[in-house]
Amino acid sequence: MQRKLLAQIQHESGPNAAAVRRAATCDVFINHRGIDTKRTVVTLLYDQLARLRLRPFLDNKSMKPGDKLFDNINRAIRQCKVGVAVFSPRYCESYFCLHELALMMESRKKVIPIFCDVKPSELRVPPTVAWRQGMLYSEEEMRRFSLALEQAKYTVGLDFDSTKGYVGVSRLIRYWNTLME
Q: Please give the positions annotated as active site.
A: 100
Q: Residue type for 46, please? A: Y
3-state secondary structure of 56: strand
Instruction: Please provide the size of the chain in residues.
Output: 181
Is residue 38 within 8 A of residue 30, CB to CB? The reply is: no
Work out the widest C-alpha separation in the chain, in whole angstroms.
51
Strand partners, 85: 31, 113
Query: Half-sphere exposure (CA, 13 Å, Cβ side) for 116?
Result: 33
Return the ∠ at Cα 85 (arms to 90 and 13), rounded to 5°: 135
Q: Give residue 180's identity as a one-letter amino acid code.
A: M
Distance CA 20, CA 8 (A): 10
Strand partners for 86: 32, 114
